[in-house]
Amino acid sequence: MQPVQPGRMMDFPLTLTHFVERARTFFPKSELVSTLADKTQCRMTYGDFSSRVAKLAHALTTKLGVKPGDRVATLAFNHQPHVEAYFAIPCIGAVIHTLNLRLHPTELGYIAKHGEDVVVLCDEALLPLLEKFKNDVPSLRKVVVFSPDPQKKRTSPLPDGFLDYEELIAGEPDRFDWPALDENSAAMLCYTSGTTGNPKGVLYSHRSTVLHSLVTMARENMGVGGDDVVLPVVPMFHAAAWGIPFAAIACGAKMVFGGGHFDPVTLLDLMASERVTFSAGVPTIWIGILAALDAEPKRWDLSSMRTMVIGGSAAPPALIDGFATRYGLEVTHAWGMTETNPLGTLARVKPHLRSGSPEQLLAMRASQGFAVTFVEQRHTDETGRVLPWDGETMGELEVRGPWVAKSYFGDEGADRFTKDGWFKTGDVVTIDGEGYVRITDRSKDVVKSGGEWISSVQLENALMSHPAVLEAAVFAARHPKWDERPVAAVVLKPNRTCSEQDLAACLDGKFAKYWMPDKFLFVEQIPRTSTGKFLKSRLRELYGDVLVK
Ligand code: AMP
């Protein structure tokens, strides 16, 4: 499209290079704190960080021959050197490809081959995993190994042919003459978790990532700012840790990383000792954290916490309410996808709705919220007809915006993109008159009983409000008459008991009779996807026939 009357403003590219140099210029004293395997911390400043980003950029280009457009993979937990890779790789014009270390080696091999990765930067603890798939990746030339402690010399030698990250960057210049990049250049490649079919690559651009960061910094959204202490619990291999490291570096926020530790006690220790103000992760993490707080309510001082973002799957209202009423902690519920860079919607209560009853306010906070600035939302039926925002009609959520994918890397999945420029999310939702989206299901997880849809998410939320229930996942079991019927898999809290009848009673009266699960299964653990979501396809494999006599 050509402008009728061109504006007279500079054509300044929206690239990540600006963020690195901004960090060096304005925030050299801000801190980055990484947790090591032995749970001690390694501390550096943004000054050190920006020098190390430049050093890595030199090493990649001169020693490893990485060219613009090449894909450089990471196989790593959350820590500062991983953030260095987040910037050095895109800023030389190459593409960082974050490999999800929780995937099966066959899948990792597929993804790394599909991405044609030329170099991989790997945590030492993950070398055995890399070993299992690296020979499936013909393009792979070099393996660089992050040091267990960036501030100490490696004690154990690396296998032949592997390079030590610290040795690689040592001695390189601490400034880099960054190339001028087009803002639409690819910056990062993330694959969907692909519970059905092969994972698909989503190629974020500098522009999409920069715009996403600006919105993440807006008070209206997550409001990440320079006075925050940010702990992304969401892994850096899951949709760029929801873009949080980019936003934090852009504004000079102190960053804290848990490394390979995801247990509630270590995370709570970190939150308390580093005075964390902002954290983000999937509900399963927060369910564990709330249970740890309930077990020892006085142990941690979390008074510094401003907000905790929960996303990746539906945050149960009982979880949001539990944090608020028992600990005065605020949860921000957000929805997004790998395909949306990833933030799409966020549950803010609009000012004119704040006088609602506590139940109404909780219902809004527990919804998926409404689209953040520059993302647009609608929902459609199977024929593509746009549906009314009446809070009742269910349809597939579609989104569009400057950080929403317009196609997949490799062009698979073309049917997810509509002719009129929207992305089909695969989430079944209602949208109310104020624009609040409520996910009733992932389309492949929906329970279709006698042709009627039953929302597993709503049933799960109700079950998780029962005081004895830690986690609940409702899935579609095969049924001879109704085709599918809901069955609930339930994990009880330690030392708590409850019967099938108790659970049925907790749902009674809240839903239509035909929504009532036909069975409640008490299980030790609910199987998870590689990104910590309930893996319903596995529940169906395990228990899909419990109703078939
Ligand atoms: P991923 O690409 O792995 O981040 O998965 C994206 C999917 O996770 C979405 O399409 C939703 O099905 C689900 N999801 C993400 N955030 C939420 C949320 N807040 N509530 C419910 N489902 C969510």
| CA 312–ligand 1 middle distance (angstroms) | 4
**CATH fold of the domain at 17-24+44-222:** Rossmann fold (3.40.50)
Range(s) of the chain covered by CATH 3.30.300.30: 447-543
| pLDDT attached to residue 32 | 98
| pLDDT attached to residue 195 | 57
Which atom of ligand 1 is nearest the CA belonging to 457? 21
d(CA 90, CA 475): 41
Beta bridge partners of 376: 400
d(CA 117, CA 374): 32
Range(s) of the chain covered by CATH 2.30.38.10: 375-442
Examine the residue annotation and report whether 482 is marked as an active-site residue of this protein. Answer: no
d(CA 397, CA 381): 9
* The CATH number of the domain covering residues in 447-543: 3.30.300.30
Residue of minimum CA distance from atom 7 in ligand 1: 337
Taking the chain (549 residues) in runs of 10, the rounded mean pLDDT of each run is 92 97 97 97 97 98 98 98 98 98 92 97 97 97 96 89 96 97 98 77 98 97 97 96 98 98 97 98 94 96 98 93 97 97 97 97 97 98 96 96 96 91 96 96 83 88 93 93 92 93 92 91 92 88 89
Examine the residue annotation and report whether 242 is marked as an active-site residue of this protein. Answer: no
| pLDDT attached to residue 196 | 58
Q: Is 456 in the pocket of ligand 1 (CB under 6 A)?
A: no
| pLDDT attached to residue 445 | 83
Q: Is 284 in the pocket of ligand 1 (CB under 6 A)?
A: no
DSSP 116-142: TEEEEEEEGGGHHHHHHHGGG-TT--E
Q: Is 239 in the pocket of ligand 1 (CB under 6 A)?
A: yes
Six token digits for residue 307? 């907000």
Tokens 């403003």 identify what position?
9
Residue tagged active-site, from 183, 339, 460, 471: 339
Cα 307 to Cα 231, 319, 328, 438, distances in angstroms: 11, 14, 10, 21
Q: Is 465 in the pocket of ligand 1 (CB under 6 A)?
A: no
Amino acid in position 192: T
- Contacts for 519 with CB less than 8 Å, ≥ 6 apart: 477, 487, 488, 500, 546, 547
- What is the 8-class DSSP label of residue 530? T
Q: Which helix (H) or strand (E) holds 93?
A: none
Tokens 């995801």 identify what position?
262
Cα 417 to Cα 81, 334, 336, 408, 421, distances in angstroms: 36, 23, 17, 10, 7
Examine the residue annotation and report whether 134 is marked as an active-site residue of this protein. Answer: no
Residue of minimum CA distance from atom 20 in ligand 1: 314
Q: Is 442 in the pocket of ligand 1 (CB under 6 A)?
A: yes
Class of the CATH domain delimited by 375-442: mainly beta
Examine the residue annotation and report whether 453 is marked as an active-site residue of this protein. Answer: yes
Phi, psi of 521 (to 5 degrees): -105, 130
Q: Is 461 in the pocket of ligand 1 (CB under 6 A)?
A: no
